[in-house]
Structure 1
Amino acid sequence: MKFFMAMTMFLVTLGSFYDCKSTMLTHLNCIALRTVKYSDRNNILIAYSREMGRVALLMSAGGSREAVRRRAVTMPLTPFECIADVRPGRDIYNVREPRALLPLHGLHSNPVKGAVAMFMAELLGAVLTESQEDAALYAFLVDSVGRFDSMSRGVANFHLAFLYRLGRYIGIEPDVSTYAPGRVFDMVDGTFRSALPLHRRFLPPEDAATVALLSRMTWDNLAAFRFSRNQRNSILTAILEYYTLHYAALSGLNSLDVMRRLFD
């Protein structure tokens, strides 16, 4: 009898040990994408992290001072760090000590920049679906947000340049080495062609030239590119069509209509 009691106590202790070992407090560097309602007490924050790729984090939805602070720290496109309680078999992680990594005064106080951030965060939420780390992609996102926050000229072109440059990190950057005046842009394989492809997903020479033009955009020269609202919206439509060809989930963006009305 004593033997069986001792064995039972041993197994309980061993189980507790492994439960403890299965919990891993992990430091995450993230960029906030979107928040969805989970319950009356909690929301789920979808974020992209340097360490784990896309993650879902449980955040308080209450009205306490700490809950309000956490929501401010995790507004769309805000880079932040936190401690996540990562456990095997769980897809949503509890969070401790979230803290903003960049003071985004411009992004949070400027309604135009805030609207662009909402659009970009929604698009990234649809595109960045992999739960695997990509330090280069994360660094690009944080650098882009920081530059956009401090940007005073060329704001209207930021989303166009951002989407073009993002293509490099997700494997769909157009091959501008194949460009020449008069060629069409094949959106299926991302190359420029002298002859029409056998499908209809291509841009005519004038629009193809704009794709090549986007490749020359940098964060420092955005203001030098002059587009009307109609031109900018046409470019955005083409970019979204290109993305949609490679990411089927990219459709019905709620913030797209706002983006189309933002800039003159």
Structure 2
Amino acid sequence: MLASTEGIVLRLIKYGESSVIATIFTREFGRQSFIINSVRKKKSKTKAGFLQPLFLVDLVTYQKQSREVQRTKEIKNTPVYQNIPFDIVKSTQAVFLAEMLYKTINEEESYPEMFDFIKNALLLFDFMEKNLANFHLYFLYRLTEYLGFFPDTTRQAFENWFDLKKGTVVPYEPSHPLFMNKEVTAYFCTLSTLKFHEIAELKIPRRIRETLLEKLIEYYNLHFEHLGEIKSLKVLQEVFE
């Protein structure tokens, strides 16, 4: 069956001398792997450089349910980012978020609401001009809604702790280590009140940002046993230093 769909590139690995296998989160079919031939040849119309982490694509694919790796008839990078590939802070966050998405999106079925959330968030991020370092925090917070473990932050933030195990703000310090302290919880709850266009106004001290990201990853780990080491995290931390 020949089908058209939008996609978001999650990972790219070399295959043979000139081809690649791309893991792409598609709007119509969920997460799928595609073999894309000859993109590493000099004269190829489609270059592997246009299939970087979180790049948006349109593709025409030969869909066959019994096949683990689908084949593509056409693929093009669209819409084209204006800033993400050329800004070290943005591109590093894109690589980090692509790894997080690769490890958390496993379903081979359509989830258009999550696809549209990710796509729209990336298009807004592409044009953000200030306070770029907080985007990945807000993105990971909002993504939990689509992954099924959206946190409950309805309690008064400045008087409570966020319990990662319970997924809610509690009025006492938990007896286990999986929680955010009062200061970090306050910023975490602030994330819950923001819209995407308000991220640029959010100011978080570097020390708090680092702890908040650490705790968000711990929160994800509680829901994905095989999340493992996030290899791009170290590069992200170095860029922010």
What is the TM-score normalised by the length of structure 2?
Answer: 0.92
CA displacement at 1:91 relative to structure 2: 0.8
- Where do residues 1-264 of structure 1 align in structure 2 (5 Å cutoff)? 24-60=1-37, 61-66=39-44, 69-197=46-174, 199-263=176-240
CA displacement at 1:198 relative to structure 2: 5.9
Kept in 2: contact 1:161–1:218 (CA 8 A): no
CA displacement at 1:196 relative to structure 2: 4.6
Kept in 2: contact 1:153–1:222 (CA 8 A): no
CA displacement at 1:130 relative to structure 2: 1.1
- How far apart in 1 are the matches of 2:75 and 2:50? 7
- How far apart in 2 are the matches of 1:228 and 1:89? 50
Matched position secondary structure for 1:35: strand
Kept in 2: contact 1:70–1:98 (CA 8 A): no
CA deviation vs aligned residue, 1:133-186 (integer Å, no higher than 9, x gap): 111100011101101111111211111111111111111111122445322212
CA deviation vs aligned residue, 1:177-233 (integer Å, no higher than 9, x gap): 244532221212311122455644222323222221221233222232222322211
Kept in 1: contact 2:128–2:200 (CA 8 A): no
Which is higher, the Rg of structure 1 or of structure 2? 1
Which segment drifts farther, 70-79 or 51-60?
70-79
Matched position secondary structure for 2:44: helix
CA deviation vs aligned residue, 1:86-110 (integer Å, no higher than 9, x gap): 1131110111211222120201222
Identity of matched residues, %: 28
Which segment drifts farther, 104-113 or 37-46?
37-46
> Number of paired residues?
240
Kept in 1: contact 2:61–2:70 (CA 8 A): yes
Kept in 1: contact 2:11–2:102 (CA 8 A): yes
What is the TM-score normalised by the length of structure 1?
Answer: 0.84
Aligned-pair Cα RMSD in Å? 1.8
Report the CA distance shift for 1:41/1:72 in structure 2 as closer, same or farther (over 3 A): closer
- How far apart in 1 are the matches of 2:54 and 2:183? 33
- How far apart in 1 are the matches of 2:11 and 2:105? 12
CA displacement at 1:65 relative to structure 2: 2.8
Give the letter for the 1:228 counterpart.
P
Matched position secondary structure for 1:119: helix
Give the letter for the 1:38 counterpart.
Y
Which segment drifts farther, 203-212 or 46-55?
203-212
Report the CA distance shift for 1:261/1:229 in structure 2 as closer, same or farther (over 3 A): farther
- How far apart in 1 are the matches of 2:200 and 2:5? 35
Unaligned residue ranges in structure 1 (runs of 5+): 1-23
